[in-house]
Amino acid sequence: MKVFSIQPAAKPASKPAGVPVRSPFPVALRALQSVERAFDRAFGTVHNPWHNLGALSYFFFWIIAATGIYLYIVFDTGVLDAYRSIDAITAQWYFGGILRSFHRYASDAFAVTMTLHLVREFLNGRYAGFRWFSWVSGIPLIWLAFASGINGYWLVWDQLSQFVAVGTAELFDWLPVFGGAMVRNFLTPETISDRFFSLLVFLHIGLPLLLLAGMWIHIQRISRAKIQPPRALGWGTIIALLLLSLIKPALSTPPANMMVAPSNLPLDWYYLTVYPLLYAWSPGRVWALLGASTLLLLLVPLLLRRQRAAVAVVDLANCNGCGRCFNDCPYSAVTMQPRSDGARHATEAVVNPELCASCGICAGACPSSTPFRSIGELVTGIDMPQRPVQGLRSELETALQRLAGKETKIVVFGCDCGVTVESLASGDVASISLICTGQLPPSFIEFALRNGADGVFLTGCHEGECEFRLGHVWARQRIAGEREPHLRGNNVELARVRLSSASLAESRRLAEEIDAFRADLQRLAQQNGRKPQDEEVRHV
C-alpha cells in the first residue's frame, strides 16, 4: 500500500529568505502569514478561514439570500406595517427571530470576508498583469455589497433606519442631480408613503442580484474557482451563526418618528462606518473620501504594475493535442483548437497571452516534458521561454554530477515564490528553483533517482497559498498517481520522495526537514537495498 501526504510548512530559516517581488509590503505580508500559521494550528490547513475567504463570501451570500427569501415572504411593505411585521418576525424567536439574526450576522460576515479577501490579495501582490481583471472587477462589488446592506436597514424602519435614511439623503442631496430633493422626503411622516417601501423592497432584491452577477464576472478568468468552503468549515460557520443568533439576537430600535431626532443608536460598524463622518465632515468631503478610495483601488494595477514575464509558448511539432495543459491551467489561458498544421492530431494547444500567468504549470503537465527523451535539445509541446525544460534538465544533470561521490545525495526542487532554496544547498544537497512547483514534470523525479540521487525533496508555497493557486495541488496529485502525468510508482521507491511546503515566514524548518529526510535515506540504505513493504511519502 502506498501512502502519500503533504508535510507541514517549515520554520523560519537562520538565513531568512527574500520576499518575492510580488509583494509591495513584505513586512505586512510576513505578519499576515504569521497570523495564518496560527489559524493553521487551530483549524488545520484545509479548513483555515484565511485560505477560504472567497469561498466563505459566496457561502455567506447564499445564507443571506435564503434567509432573505423567507423574510420577504412575511414582510409587509408600508410605513406602519414594515416595523410591525419585522417586530412580529423577531418575536418568533425559535424560527423567524433566528432567521432574521442569521440574515443580519451573515451580512456582517460577508462584509468582513470580502474586506479581508481584498487585503490579503493586495498584500500578496495579486492585482497586476494577468490578474488585473479579477482585481478591477471586484471593486464595484464593494459598492454593491454596501448598498445592499444599507438598503436593508431602511426596510426595518426603526430609529436606526431613520438615521441611515436621513444620512443617505443628505449625501445624495449634495450631488447636483438631486438638488435637495432627497431630504424633503424625510421632513415629516406625511412625506413617506407606502410606495416608498415598495421601492426599497425592489432595490433590496435588485442590488443583490447585480452583486451576484458581478461575483460571477469576477471569477470568469479563474479556472476551478473555489466558491464553496470545505464542508466542515461550512457547518462550523452555520453553528457559529446559530449560537450568535441565540446569544445575541438581532433586534430593532424603537419605531422611526420623523418628528424626533434619534440618539444613542447601536451602529453597525460593518456597513454604516461612513455615517458618523457626516457629523464631522460635509457631504462633499465624504464623497471625496469614497471617490478617492475607489479610484485608488482601481488604479492599483497601474500604480504598482511590474514587468510582465514571458508567456507560455506552444511547439506544434511536439504537441499531440492531449489537453493536459488545458486541464491544468489555473487561469483558463490554454484552449484546445482544431489543428492548424495538418498533423494527424485533431487539436492543438493555443495560449492566450492576456490570461497566461507565466507559471509553467502547463509545461509540467505536458507528456513530452520528460528528460528521458534521447534528443540533444529537449523541446516540449508547451514551455516557458525564461525557464525551459531543456535548461531544467541541464541544471539537474549538472547537480547530479556535483553530488557524485557524496554519501547521501539529495536534490531539492523549490519554487521562486516560496522559500529561497539556494540557501539549502550544501555538500550533499543540490537545489533547483522553478517558477512554480507545478512546473516540475514528475519524470524529473524519476530521472534524478535513476541517475544517482538518493532522494528528491520538493517544496513550494505553503498549502493553500500557492501563488498560482493550483501548483502545489497538481504537484501532490501527480506524485500520488492521482493526476496525469503521474510519477510511476512501480519505477520509484516513494520513500525516497518527500513533498513539503513553507511560507516566507517559516523557512528554518526546511533545513531541519532535509536533515530528517537525510537520516531516513541513510536508514533506508542500511536495509541493503530491500524495498519496504509499505512505501511511503511521509508526513513529518
What per-residue confidence (pLDDT) applies to 128?
87
Judged by DSSP in three states, 452 sits in coil
Per-residue pLDDT, 532: 40
Enumerate the domain spans of the chain: 46-303, 313-537
What is the reported pLDDT for 146? Answer: 95
Question: What are the respective helix, strand and coil percentages of the chain, to the nearest 5?
Answer: 50, 10, 40
Give 516: exposed, middle or buried? Use CB within 10 Å, 0-12, 13-18, 19+: middle
* pLDDT single digits (tens) 24-38: 788 888 889 889 989
pLDDT at 489: 67
Quickly state the pLDDT bin for 475 (edges 50, 70, 90). very high
Chain mean position to CA 511: 28
| C-alpha Rg value of the chain to the nearest Å | 28
What value does the mean pLDDT take over residues 106-134? 93
Q: Is the pLDDT of residue 233 over 60?
A: yes
Give the pLDDT score at 506. Answer: 67
> Residue 188: which pLDDT band, with cuts at 50, 70 and 90?
low
Q: What pLDDT does residue 505 have?
A: 59
Q: What is the mean pLDDT of residues 302-313?
A: 88
Average pLDDT of the residues in 318-331: 93
CA dist 97 and 93 (Å) reads 4
- How confident is the model at residue 80, as a pLDDT? 82
**Are the C-beta atoms of residues 330 and 470 closer than 8 Å to each other?**
yes
CATH of domain 46-303: 1.20.810.10
pLDDT at 447: 93
Q: Are 35 and 88 in contact (CB under 8 A)?
A: no
- How far apart, in Å, are the Cα atoms of 75 and each of 100, 105, 201? 11, 19, 10
- What's the average model confidence in pLDDT over 465-485? 90
- Say which residue the cell 493586495 belongs to: 122
Q: Kindly provide the b/e burial profile for residues 318-343, where b requires at least 16 CB atoms within 10 angstroms of the residue's own CB.
A: bbbbbebbbbbbbbebbbbeeeeeee
pTM, two decimals, is 0.86
Lowest mean pLDDT among 79-88, 227-236, 296-305, 505-514: 505-514
pLDDT recorded at residue 186: 67
Bridge partners for 460 per DSSP: 501
Q: Which pLDDT value is given to residue 262?
A: 80
If one compares 224 and 8, the residue with the highest pLDDT of the two is: 224
Please state, rounded to an integer, the average pLDDT across all residues of the chain.
87
Name the grid cell of 481. Answer: 498517481
- Nearest CA-CA partner of 241 in 91, 74, 63, 72: 63
198, 191 contact by CB (below 8 A): no
Q: Which residue has the higher pLDDT, 214 or 184?
A: 214
Q: Are 537 and 499 in contact (CB under 8 A)?
A: yes
Average pLDDT over residues 320-341: 93
Give the pLDDT band of residue 6 (cuts 50, 70, 90). very low
- Grid coordinates representing 534 are 509499505
For range 357-362, the mean pLDDT:
94
The 10 Å Cβ neighbour count of residue 30 is 19
Identify whether 485 is preceded by a cis peptide bond (ω within 30 of 0).
Answer: yes
* Distance of alpha carbon 111 from the chain centroid: 16
**End-to-end distance of the chain based on CA atoms, in angstroms?**
19
pLDDT at 89 over 60: yes
Cell 451573515 maps to which residue? 106
Q: Residue 224: is its pLDDT beyond 60?
A: yes
